[in-house]
């Protein structure tokens, strides 16, 4: 695993979908590769955004819209009982039946994603994600500005409601925790959500 700091420049930094596309270009082309990275946007301005990138492959090709500022290996070694600080910007949601009564291909009610806006629901969501993986010792939940994106100029603008979770935890199951780090937590990973960052407490 690798952790990299990347600077996104130009209009791409204003659209998380374009940031995702720019990050793809940092890796050598591989027709068989699926997205194997997670990212989180840090400081951003109108024409630039600093991004933390976690990837299985090492990013090696800076391009006009995405410049690699630094890269280091990220060894994943955890121990049961280890106490760590964490930061996660995620998209906590629940699934409900489509209000319009639409059906899926199987004839069952179509499901829609709905953001969790109440803090108690957000707290319950993150506790479920860490169930049997880590014990949350303290937790601070803060809303983050919604992500707005377009996949193309013709598409309607989409919106993702982000939430910041941070605090301290103790590891219960190191293997499951490593799996969470690798795969990310929650939906909207292609838009910069789900990257779990850990540091010594």
Q: What is the mean pLDDT of the segment spanning 178-192?
A: 95
Residue-level pLDDT at 98: 67
Show the CA angle centred on residue 38, arms to residues 82 and 200, nearest 5°. 20
Distance of CA 193 to the CA centre of its chain: 2
Domain with CATH 3.30.70.1210 in the chain: 83-200
User: pTM here?
Assistant: 0.88
Domain with CATH 3.30.70.1200 in the chain: 2-73
Strand pairing report for 134-143 and 111-115: unpaired
Q: How many residues does the chain have?
A: 201
* Number of Cβ atoms within 10 Å of the Cβ of 198: 19
Contact (CB, 8 A) for 119 and 142: no
Strand pairing report for 48-55 and 37-45: antiparallel
- Which CATH architecture describes the domain 83-200? 2-Layer Sandwich (3.30)
Q: Is pLDDT at 80 greater than 90 in this prediction?
A: yes
Most confident listed range (42-56, 76-90, 98-112, 153-167): 76-90
Q: What is the mean pLDDT of the segment spanning 129-157?
A: 83
- Taking the CA atoms of the chain, what radius of gyration do you get in angstroms? 18
Q: What is the mean pLDDT of the segment spanning 59-70?
A: 94
pLDDT tens-digit series, residues 92-107: 999 887 666 666 667 6
The hierarchical CATH code for the domain 2-73 is 3.30.70.1200
Q: Is pLDDT at 27 greater than 90 in this prediction?
A: yes
What the block records as the tokens of 139 is 């937790």
Residue-level pLDDT at 159: 81
What the block records as the tokens of 183 is 């795969």
């Amino acid at each position: 695993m690798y952790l990299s700091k990347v600077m996104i420049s130009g209009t791409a930094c204003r659209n998380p979908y374009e940031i995702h596309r720019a990050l793809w270009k940092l890796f050598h082309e591989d027709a068989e590769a699926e997205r194997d990275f997670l990212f989180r946007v840090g400081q951003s301005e109108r024409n630039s955004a600093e991004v933390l990138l976690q990837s299985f492959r090492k990013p090696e090709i800076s391009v006009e819209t995405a410049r690699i500022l630094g890269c280091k290996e990220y060894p994943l070694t955890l121990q049961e009982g280890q106490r760590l600080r964490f930061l996660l910007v995620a998209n906590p949601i629940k699934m409900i039946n489509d209000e319009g009564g639409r059906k899926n291909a199987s004839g069952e009610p179509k499901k829609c994603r709905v953001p969790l806006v109440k803090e108690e629901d957000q707290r319950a969501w993150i506790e479920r994600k860490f169930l049997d993986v880590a014990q949350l010792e303290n937790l601070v939940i803060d809303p983050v500005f919604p992500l707005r994106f377009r996949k193309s100029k013709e598409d309607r603008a989409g919106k993702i409601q982000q939430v910041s979770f941070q605090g301290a935890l103790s590891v219960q199951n190191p293997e499951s925790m490593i799996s969470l780090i690798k795969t990310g937590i929650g939906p909207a990973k292609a838009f910069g959500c789900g990257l779990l960052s850990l540091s010594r407490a």
